[in-house]
A and B are shown apart, each in its own frame.
Chain A
């Protein structure tokens, strides 16, 4: 039997590599769509502003995409490296889905990214627009397949178990499993929204700093970002609510954990909890009375939120991760909604580009989408534990026969490397943003001071 240390270390390793990987698609999927749209507009209208926008965001997209690709390569092999038993059991289902992702989506992105990044002067603008769209379609398709594979693990259907393997019986129901119907739109909106915050935040920074060269681009991008957010945020809250209700029905333990109750006697809504897992109670909690009942659509305040004690002890997820992952996602989402709404009001009042306080707030919101996505995935994955395939295969039974030294060593390697990579990436973004967009030849008479930073 594999020692529990190996299981724990492998879980940490997977969690860290997955979160790190997720940071990049969270930006690049949305950015690729933005790039494709602005380049198409450039081809159609000939307005050089859109070319400037394209070239500027392409710089940030390129490095993010490259890092996303290599971090994704790690994920592909990690299934077999640390989770050999799992890989053998679900290969016929999840392996095939991810295989389809690689051949239809990954190759599409990777095949056209070279043209998109280095094609200037070699291919015609129309071909460039086509390449940009292919990259965008590739990233969207990739999201679709991955969500299908992951949702199947959340709510497995359409299979038969034989010889310890899951064998596919009905591919349609496997690919379009019930959880996919809720989680895919949720995730698709999430990646678009998080890229919009990123673009909007950086554009707001240019406006706050009053960078003359960047003003038209920054206003244009801020307008696009806030428009996207104004439309998508309400939908996202609605879809997210549907996902939570669905999960509450299919994985009761997850709902019990992310609402932060042990006993099923609370009609309030918990804002903060300090769970004591051994004793099965909260050492401390702050809540709003009656709100839990209201959220459960009972205005009389009688409805109680189910607690984690309803689930047998060996099937309980960790309340810390699930509860705070959910809170990180949900509270950020509310703030995002409020900000998008405020942006819309300012726009209607013609004050959008002249509201320093709002713009400064937008700069702070730059990473909001990434934080929410990370929190959401922590809820989804930690809340599914102790199962890796919900109700069918336990995480502890899925680990390869490795010794502690190997897993600990590789975990340390990944932590160090990823820490350094995040720092390098953040520094690169800061530098690129400070350097600003490419200036047109007959730009403003006053040269931009920070132009000197361009290496």
Chain B
């Protein structure tokens, strides 16, 4: 029973990822086609939430590892190259995004990197999805296939299909977030992408049977009922999205697209469960032992409400149309008329030399104490010696810091010349 809960957790994280990072990736791809002044805005829209959105794929991966290690160990090596390229693309995408945002102006190179890497990430994810659906070569619970086993017509089609889905999510998100698109423009783009997505879904659904003939039969009535329910839900979501693109309220297309994605995922699960990795690796075979499942389900399950709560809170803070961040200017720093005068001493006098020698001896001794160099002495000196040393340092630091603060070292020197 618990293995189904962890399977559900994996699916939930995956759904969250496809919906949330789907719009990120879609906005990234759409930014390739946008005008330069718009590109910067697109990446700023993504920048506020991509860390959180990206976390869901990490959660999906880790829960798969902990809850269904059998599946994790088979799937990952089988899609080695596309997954590595996906990871590299994710890195480049994060780099492009952060650098563009930190650079403080529009930078063509970073913007293109962000867009291009979004496209590459999506393509790789589609290839991975296609490979998993058609079933990687496996024996005795380990992957036994070839390096390019993931490359097939079906996985390429899947990659294109996923591009369409993410573009659709991106377009819906942009309608919610920007004023930039005219209503008719949003409607045209959204409806076009919707048509493409629906067409790809039909093609992929029909060819799935020929790609993997041994699985996915709809013979059992329960399975068939759930499957057709999911299909009906997806069709309904399509209809709502068709209507909502280019119309107020602006949040509706994205909600419809999210529902569409969730229904699609549920449909896939309905035809495949309890198989996790086709052709025959089931949830039971792939699962962890009971103790691990219990800990995982309790730990992740109990944390999930909190995670959702603060994610919603963060999302709420940025709700509505995107506006350029308003950073209030820094208030003037505290002033100080006189620069602090440093006490200049002559160096090289016998007193200085003696003082320095003493300090070095003292320093070496302190290092020695903290390092147990004094052998048996250490047994009693260790914890007390270290504690005394730390407390002395802390006290000296606090005193010195207060004194410097009073002396005005931490205030600005208005009009003061630079001391040489």
Q: B179 an interface residue at 8 Å Cβ cutoff?
A: no
Chain A contact residues, majority secondary structure? helix
Chain A 310-342 interface residues, beta-carbon cutoff 8 Å to B? 334, 337-338, 341-342
Q: A81-B80, A120-B328 are in contact. Are A223 and B404 (CB under 8 A)?
A: yes
- Taking the closest CB of chain A, its distance from the CB of B159, in whole angstroms, is 18
Q: Is A59 an interface residue (CB 8 A)?
A: yes
> Knowing A91-B69, A112-B314, A401-B142 touch, does A350 contact B343 (C-beta < 8 A)?
yes
Q: Which of B33-41, B46-54, B164-172, B220-228 is found at the contact surface with chain A? A: B46-54
Stretch at the interface among A255-263, A270-278, A379-387, A404-412: A404-412
**Residue B367 contacts which of A84, A167, A337, A406 (CB distance < 8 angstroms)?**
A337
> What residues on A are CB-neighbors of B66 within 8 Å?
91-92, 95-96, 98-99
What residues of chain B lie closer than 8 Å to A400, measured between beta carbons? Answer: 73, 76-77, 80, 142-143
Main secondary structure of the interface of B (DSSP, over half): helix
Residues of A within 8 A of B296 (CB): 96, 99-100
8 A Cβ contacts from A255-314 to B: 294-295, 297-299
Contact B318 A114 (CB under 8 A): yes
Residues of A with C-beta under 8 A to B58: 72-73, 76, 102, 106
Given the known inter-chain contacts A114-B52, A295-B372, A344-B397, please indicate yes or no for A88 contacting B72, CB distance below 8 A. yes
CB-based contact B342/A354 at 8 Å:
yes
Point out the residues of chain B lying under 8 angstroms from A298, CB to CB.
Answer: 375
Q: Is the pair A445, B415 in contact by a Cβ cutoff of 8 Å? A: yes
Q: Which of B88-96, B263-271, B272-280 contacts A (4 or more CB under 8 A)?
A: B88-96
A350 nearest CB neighbor, chain B only: B343
Are A103 and B69 closer than 8 Å at their CB atoms? no
B295 contact set on A, CB distance < 8 A: 96, 168, 171
Contact status B94-A66, CB under 8 Å: yes
Beyond A95-B69, A99-B66, A227-B401, whether A55 also contacts B330 by CB under 8 A is yes
A81 touches B77 (CB 8 A): yes
Please give, as numbers and ranges, the residues of chain A lying within 8 Å of B412 by CB-CB distance. 215-216, 440, 443-444
Quote the shortest CB–CB distance from B8 to chain A (angstroms).
Answer: 14
CA distance A166 to B398 in the complex (A): 50
- Contact assessment for A230 and B393 in the assembled complex, using a CB-CB cutoff below 8 Å: yes
Report yes or no: A99 in contact with B329, Cβ–Cβ below 8 A: no
Q: B72–A91 contact, CB under 8 A?
A: yes
Is the beta-carbon distance between B73 and A80 smaller than 8 angstroms?
yes
Most buried by B among A91, A342, A354, A455: A91
Interface residues on A, range: 35 or more
Contacting residue for A162 out of B101, B289, B325, CB 8 A: B289
Please name the 5 residue pairs, one residue from A and one from B, whose CB atoms are nearest each other, closest first.
A91-B69, A95-B66, A80-B76, A92-B292, A121-B326
For the complex with contacts A95-B65, A350-B400, A409-B81, 13 further pairs of A-B residues with Cβ separation under 8 Å are A80-B65, A87-B65, A114-B49, A115-B317, A212-B413, A227-B401, A230-B393, A350-B403, A352-B404, A417-B88, A440-B332, A440-B333, A444-B415
14 contacts between A and B (CB under 8 A): A62-B102, A84-B143, A87-B76, A92-B288, A92-B289, A106-B58, A107-B59, A110-B52, A119-B317, A120-B325, A230-B396, A341-B363, A400-B76, A444-B416
- Could you list which residues of chain B lie within 8 angstroms of chain A, going by C-beta atoms? 47-49, 51-52, 54-55, 57-59, 61-63, 65-67, 69-70, 72-77, 80-81, 83-85, 87-88, 90-95, 97-99, 101-105, 141-144, 146-147, 288-289, 291-292, 295-296, 299-300, 303-304, 307, 310-311, 314, 317-318, 325-334, 342-343, 359, 363, 366-367, 370-376, 378, 382-383, 386, 389-390, 393-394, 396-398, 400-401, 403-404, 409-416, 418-420
